[in-house]
Structure 1
């Protein structure tokens, strides 16, 4: 962290590109290392392995880095930071890959799942799940989308500006963008560097929020004067949207268990001018709250819908982690149900693609809570993201060109 603090904005952006890009391609990079190295990758020094990953990523995926620089810089690091012998080995590996760029070897594993997992750099358990569920062709498309550099959505903060005014700012700044026709105020950009440089985040004029992440507050549809609870609220971008929809009038309680992330909600609310936000650190499964007109539960999940932006998650998640997430979501849903007043509304959402965390979770919930019923969402969201019965939404990176999100709106009848 101390080293990151010494980097300027451009250097941080480049460091992030390397980290996320290498994580997206890690299995394939390691396959190439194992093919071209005379040293067994299993016993290879971790620091040396990372030097090779950076060098190969530079050669194959970073158009802005000349080949000679990609080789020379990484060879020099290996020599000075490890040993002259390591530098020689790095030089031999990287130069051979450079020479054979157009005819690199492909994995030839007998196990089909391992072959696909290595080729597309996704864990084998997830490859098998998605191939069984979607078919191999569509699973390939999904994993390919996860391995692309992501675009980002900016949401104009209508507590401080308007979509029209913000659009003019983008145009005058020469920032290329696409305005979404799904929800108002969302602008897709390929980089955040120019926006950061102009201080728009610090001024609270906009914030980063994927368009699919805006669906949950939108279908909750809070209005001025209502009482609303936002559970698992950090870092607070959904809280900001709720405050905007409420026109900064009413009661909006943002709850999160993490003390560090609670601070981010406070900072974002103050920066964004969300004056009605009150913040409480609490375990939502244990704390008692006054009944609210509307409750948003954007539940902790495996995050399999955001693997392009959070490439590290694919290597940290396991089937056991999925089971733990499902269990926690069930507890949180149970708690949230007891916060909703009669005729009130409950939105459950995730950034997962897994059925156990999504519709299967809701089906279990409705069996226990027959006083809740699903509402149709076609008044709020485009039809292409809705289920056949219009009572849930699910986005997929390869189909909708945004993050993968799921959500439902439920009304308490009695």
Structure 2
């Protein structure tokens, strides 16, 4: 694009489709993520409901893309803006970030459309001076984009990895200490890729033969997971949603990693199971399914709104065994002993960065220290409610040892009556680390990052 080309003129452009409302919505959502205790996935559900399907896909793509690549985008803009970039108003930043993301990653969108609408947004939200600034920075990016490759080559290795994969430097440093540079590079790259979505079959009401026949007839590409056959990867998910399998309760949209705790727990009909921190109910539903919906499941969560979602999911799945109760996991509402307990603890969530793309910018290293104490208290409470000989699974969706195996060791020091069980023959060995722990990684297993361990109370005298 020449410097003389009038980018701001979109008249007589046959390939230009105005999306000013969609781009304005992008800036607003990103700014709410930055300034409020709000998460992008929840905001996207609420904020784009009135947009067309085309604009919904566009807004989702750009919002998630900006959050995935924010560190790199900010680095570019820091080089281009002559003032203090950090002092720019947040909506101006997000207008620039979303524009550079489109120019860098979305080849089918013409540059003049990106610049024109970015300038119009700046003009509408602020003034002509701000619009001129946005125009100048974006034009400058188009002129200088190629030079950034050379600047990257001069970076120190930690800065280079943080820039290349757009992850916080402190997090990359931690991960390198655990797994080394090559492994961390593959992990970070996987975190920036769109996840392959999966569904779990609800064996209580689904007819697998009819289900797969319908997928074939509608030319929907799928793959049954070789290790966890209740889970099915769906490739063209937009077409799949048009079928009514989700609303009919035949399937739940659920990552494969979330099924592993239920596999380890191995509930059987007639048992009493406690699911702490249960909402929104994916693991609860799978536990009920594996029990044949025959038994009693107490599903706890301290957030009433999330428990309402769980209850709606159980109704959709036509499951009767779960009973949901609003309660803090540190104060159980009933006094009884359970056969099996799942402690799916709240965590920093660094295993699910492919889906919760803004989480890496919201979490700090201090969160790890705080979370591990919350998790240990939940384990302590669960221990008192498990019968002798009963099984307890502890699971998280993070990759931090302090929240995972180190917490298990801390718990065992206080509770010698518990035994950490080996996982061989309970789950395929490729998911097992050091004989006792499950670790899944997106770059290795095509699922979210997660952790799980299996413990037995009084196991020395009564083993299952």
Identify the TM-score tier after normalising by the shorter chain: over 0.9
Asked if the contact 2:257/2:447 (under 8 Å) is kept, the reply is yes
Relative distance call for 1:199 and 1:224 in structure 2 (3 A) is same
The residue number in structure 2 matching 1:27 is 71
1:158-213, Cα deviation, whole Å (9 max, x unpaired): 22214443222322222222221010121223453223333332221211111111
* Counterpart mapping for 1:7-406 below 5 A: 7-105=51-149, 106-107=151-152, 112-190=157-235, 192-287=237-332, 288-389=334-435, 391-406=436-451
Deviation track 1:143-169 (CA, whole Å, cap 9, x = no partner) reads: 111111222111122222144432223
Q: Indicate the SS of the match to 1:229.
A: strand
TM-score, with structure 1 as normaliser: 0.93
Partner Cα distance (1:88, 1:218) in 2: 58
Larger Rg: 2
Going from structure 1 to structure 2, the CA distance change for 1:108 and 1:48 (only over 3 Å counts) comes to: farther
Partners of 1:405 and 1:297 in 2: how far apart? Answer: 13
* Shift in CA distance, 203/348, structure 1 to aligned 2, threshold 3 Å: same
Rounded Cα–Cα distance in structure 1 between residues aligned with 2:311 and 2:94? 37
Q: Secondary structure of the equivalent of 2:390?
A: strand
Output the CA distance in 1 between the equivalents of 2:224 and 2:61: 25
Task: Quote the residue 2:36 is aligned against.
Answer: none
CA positional deviation for 1:8: 4.3
Q: CA shift at 1:64, angstroms?
A: 4.1
**Which sits farther off after the overlay, 250-259 or 88-97?**
88-97
Q: Contact (CA 8 Å) 2:220, 2:236: kept in 1 or not?
A: no
1:81-123 CA-partner distances (Å, limit 9, x unpaired): 3223333332333234334545434447766534432332211
Q: Provide closer, same or farther for how the CA distance between residues 190 and 95 of structure 1 changes in structure 2, counting only shifts above 3 A.
A: farther
Is the alpha carbon distance of 1:190 and 1:82 closer, same or farther for their aligned partners in structure 2, counting shifts above 3 Å?
farther
More deviation, 8-17/391-400 = 8-17
Greater shift, 149-158 or 86-95, is seen at 86-95
Shift of 1:249: 0.7
Stretch deviating more after TM superposition (148-157 or 62-71): 62-71
Shift of 1:395: 0.7
CA RMSD of aligned residues (A): 2.0
Farther-moved stretch of structure 1 (88-97 vs 17-26) = 88-97
8 Å CA contact 2:258, 2:282 repeated in 1: no
Gaps of 5+ in 2: 1-42
TM-score, normalised to structure 2, is 0.84
Contact 1:156–1:162 under 8 Å retained in 2: no
Q: Cα distance 1:361–1:345, how it changes in 2: closer, same or farther (>3 A)?
A: same
**Secondary structure in structure 2 of the residue aligned to 1:174:** coil
What residue number does 2:28 align with? none
Once the two structures are overlaid, the 10-residue window that deviates more, 347-356 or 203-212, is 203-212
Secondary structure (helix, strand or coil) at the match of 1:89 reads: helix
Match of 1:412 in 2: 457
Of stretches 226-235 and 134-143 in structure 1, the one that deviates more from structure 2 is 134-143
How many Å apart are 1:55 and its aligned residue?
A: 0.8
Partner of 2:6: none
Distance 2:387 2:445 in 1: 35
